Amino acid sequence: MPIMKPLYPPQQLRFLLALHARKELSSDHLHHLQAMKKGADGEIRWTTLLSELPDDIPILYDLNLEINQSIIQLDALCILQNKIVIFEIKNFSGNYTLVGDQWLSPSKKEMKSPLIQIKRNEPLIHQFLKRYQLPIPFEYHLIFVNPKFILYGAKPNESIIFPGQIPQYLDSLKKQTISPTLLHTKIIETLLNNHKNKLNMLVKPEYHYEELAKGVFCSKCCGRMERLSKKRFKCKKCSHSGFVNDIILNNIKDYSILFPERKIKTLDMYEWIGKQVSTAIIHRILQKNAKRLGNGRATYYELINSYF
């Protein structure tokens, strides 16, 4: 019963990347984007490590649960036989210091303790499990995935897993076996049913369609891409390459993230991607990946996969 909610870049990050490719961001927004990117890299690192677990252990990623009008974000979660294990993933690198409860960044600036989020979420998760009658305990861990992270002055704390402790911790998880029960199924269903896919954007810079650069842009580095061959596009900046269909679809998704209120039409998409492929190709991609609505000149599309 390995049900996995696939990992997609957080909505806010995806949004800022789509915009960054096409418009110059203010330094504040750029800073925010970089911090989010680093966080997402950490999540990907942890996903790769968890993929070594036995196939029958259900893992869920990036859940946004609404509990008592608060939204809590859970980076990753494993369901074991008799407990749930929740992971808050941090990709900090450098030398941090702990003085009492106060965390200091590598530049010795006071910062918010990453443990605060766990302390805030714990009672909410208890409420959630109680409300949906899911009698199972949970552990909540703060995982530092970056091998370059050091925390001076740290005392043993069972909620924190430091980079050097990860291999041993994973070994203990790999030894777990699970025989699925109705409770497990109910837990997974309840979590997924309460997952809010579309979060309100925390940061939303101003922009207009007209001012955004048109063309095909790279999802890795936001650079411009050019046609390499009949079937492939290649990024001029980072050399990332991909199939025409995937790259164009990705650029259409960017459009729908940046302009959720606009309809997706073939000719508009032709303009959006800077006329880099023919309308026939765009039409084919939309037919395959989107729901066709309306008729004739008013035909428009809705992307089938709501995840981005």
Closest contact distance (angstroms) between CB of 262 and Zn ion is 26
Question: Is residue 228 a contact point for Zn ion (CB under 5 A)?
Answer: no
94-99: strand order across its sheet: 110-111, 102-104, 94-99, 149-152
232-235: strand order across its sheet: 225-227, 232-235, 241-243
Closest contact distance (angstroms) between CB of 228 and Zn ion is 13
Residues in Cβ contact with 139 at an 8 Å cutoff, skipping those fewer than 6 apart: 83, 84, 85, 86
Instruction: Name which position in 50, 161, 235, 244 contacts Zn ion (CB under 5 A).
Output: 235
Closest contact distance (angstroms) between CB of 231 and Zn ion is 18
> What is d(CA 12, CA 15) in angstroms, rounded to the nearest whole number?
5
> What is d(CA 218, CA 247) in angstroms, rounded to the nearest whole number?
8
Tokens representing 189? 């269903």
Question: Is residue 257 a contact point for Zn ion (CB under 5 A)?
Answer: no
Answer yes or no: are the C-beta atoms of 232 and 102 closer than 8 Å. Answer: no
Question: By CB under 5 A, which span of 60-68, 73-81, 86-94, 228-236 interacts with Zn ion?
Answer: 228-236
Instruction: Name which position in 7, 65, 85, 218 contacts Zn ion (CB under 5 A).
Output: 218
Task: Return the number of the residue (237 or 292) whose C-beta is nearest Zn ion.
Answer: 237
Question: Is residue 21 a contact point for Zn ion (CB under 5 A)?
Answer: no
Closest contact distance (angstroms) between CB of 73 and Zn ion is 28
> What is d(CA 9, CA 256) in angstroms, rounded to the nearest whole number?
15
Instruction: Name which position in 71, 116, 154, 238 contacts Zn ion (CB under 5 A).
Output: 238
> What is d(CA 305, CA 308) in angstroms, rounded to the nearest whole number?
7
Residue 299 — φ and ψ, nearest 5°?
A: -60, 135
Instruction: Name which position in 220, 231, 262, 291 contacts Zn ion (CB under 5 A).
Output: 220
Question: Is residue 126 a contact point for Zn ion (CB under 5 A)?
Answer: no
Closest contact distance (angstroms) between CB of 218 and Zn ion is 3
Residues that bind Zn ion (CB under 5 A): 218, 220-221, 223, 235, 237-238, 240
